[in-house]
Structure 1
Amino acid sequence: MRVHLGSDHAGLDLKDHLATWLVDHGYEPVDHGPFVYDALDDYPVFCLRAAQAVAAEQADGLDSLGVVIGGSGNGEQIAANKVVGVRSALVWSEETAVLAREHNDANVVSVGGRLHSLEDMTRFVEVFLQTAFSGEERHVRRIGQLAAYETDHELPPLPASALQGSADPGTAAGSDSPRA
């Protein structure tokens, strides 16, 4: 499996460690940078490239996932999720890594290099890479709704249970507007 890597300066050491770890465990890492420490670098430059490569390879039917790394992992996850076809999940435990794959079929994982030990972050990535999507109908349906919105920007219909108590679809309970 090919694993695309991207980070910023805060994730550089972990990214470099993961590249070696991935080779040692039979994966093919593709490093999208950075390649030198620069405290002023911008994570979108590297994380968007890693995410775009994952989306392109998966669209071609190839087996690939991605890992993006920063100080907290938040910005890196946001960047990766801007790429059509990417579902990036911020993980902070083995359980969140498992759920990201089993329930969300996440294809990019984001980790915070300043929030966990090197061993823990490596384990989170390992669990993510080794976990398969469950394929359960409810998860497939939800991912389908997200994919449809990503292309047509139309909200999925509200279920009947969301409309109960409102005869007027324009009221807060029956509209797509958040309640006050």
Structure 2
Amino acid sequence: MKIALGSDHGGYRLKEEIKSFVQSLGHDVEDVGCDCSDSVDYPDYALPVCRKVVAGEADRGIVICGTGIGMSIAANKVPGIRCALVHDMFSAKATREHNDSNVLAMGERVIGPGLAQEIVRVWLETEFSEGERHVKRLKKIKTMEDEYSLHP
């Protein structure tokens, strides 16, 4: 699987750890930045991750900032992205099974690297349960995106 990975300064250290971890699981990683802990704007790194996922250049994306909140908000502005802010393993599994999330957001200041690695592992290994009720709900989300998109 190819994973697009990005962070702002608040998530830089965790991004570096997650990059190595994802590679150790046998996945390809495309790191879109940032490349240091100097202050940057999180939308500048959420957008390229999401563009790669929507374009099919990456199978999934991971975005990290201090809390994960800013990154998840920015990511979810991109039509076709279903970004889940996750800080526990139950949610990591549920968001794949029920929501078919294609981008994972986490906060470096909220969780440590060990838990983050386990969340990523579970999220990457869990498949979407294509049950009728889940597909129906995703279609409703797509309808919402289409209705409010500036570029349908």
* TM-score, scaled relative to structure 1: 0.80
Q: Is the 8 A contact 2:85 2:106 kept in 1?
A: yes
| 4+ residue runs over 3 A deviation | none
- 1:87 maps to 82
- 1:36 maps to 36
- Residue 29 of structure 1: SS of its match in structure 2? strand
- 2:45 maps to 46
Q: Alignment RMSD, CA only? A: 1.4
What amino acid maps onto 1:99 in structure 2?
A
Superposed, 1:92-131 pairs within 5 Å as 92-131=87-126
Distance in 2 (CA, whole Å) between partners of 1:37 and 1:111 is: 17
* TM-score, scaled relative to structure 2: 0.94
Note the C-alpha offset of 1:36.
1.8
What amino acid maps onto 1:42 in structure 2?
D
What amino acid maps onto 2:18 in structure 1?
L
Note the C-alpha offset of 1:152.
2.4
> Relative to structure 1, is the Cα distance of residues 44 and 153 closer, same or farther in structure 2, using a 3 angstrom cutoff?
closer
Distance in 1 (CA, whole Å) between partners of 2:58 and 2:13 is: 26
Unaligned 5+ segments in structure 2 are none
Note the C-alpha offset of 1:51.
1.1
Q: Cα deviations across residues 70-120 of structure 1 (Å, max 9, x unaligned)?
A: 111001001111111000001011000001100000000101111111100
- 1:165 maps to none
